[in-house]
Amino acid sequence: MKKLTSSIIGGIAGAVALNILHQAVKEFLHEAPRVDLVGEEALSKGMETAGIEPPTGDQLFAATMAADLLSNAVYYSLIGFGKKKQLPWIGAVSGMAAGVGALTLTKPLGLSDAPVNRKTATKIMTVAWYTFGGVVAGSIIKVLRKK
């Protein structure tokens, strides 16, 4: 499969896997990261800054999920620029970097960091979930390149 196509498909797969994991675990563990809340805050503030009335409730959640899936898919697609044999490792490192970014960039961006930094377990899960998404993306890209 062509490099660009496999990268896009892998990026989407990684983003979907990440979001399914986030949404599933938050239902069972109080310590689970709530990146969705950070995303809702970012989307609302951004829209308000642009003079647009942000959605609320389910519409805000849906818009945030769409933006999150798109941005993570684009980010994870970049893994495909690496060497084929190393793609899962590149995915792991890229995912880890995204997880660390989620922990450290909230405050500088003027967002609440409580949803991702409230407990040590929350921080570990945040990095682990993004790493998982990166490994999924890298692995899918590698498999698709074999075809």
Name the phi and psi angles at 55, rounded to 5: -70, 170
For every residue of 38-62, DSSP letters joined together read HHHHHHHHHHHHTT-PPP-HHHHHH
Q: What is the pLDDT of residues 94-140, one digit of tens each?
A: 999 999 999 999 999 999 999 999 999 999 999 999 999 999 999 99
Q: What is the pLDDT of residues 28-53, one digit of tens each?
A: 999 999 999 999 999 999 999 999 99
Enumerate residues 6+ apart whose C-beta is below 8 A from 88. 135, 138, 139, 142
**Tokens standing for residue 94:** 């890229």
Q: What is the mean pLDDT of the chain?
A: 96
Rounded Cα–Cα distance for residues 129 and 137 (Å):
12
Q: pLDDT band at residue 147, thresholds of 50, 70 and 90?
A: low
Q: What is the pLDDT of residues 58-105, one digit of tens each?
A: 999 999 999 999 999 999 999 999 998 999 999 999 999 999 999 999
Q: What is the pTM of this model?
A: 0.93
Contact 97, 107 (CB under 8 A): no
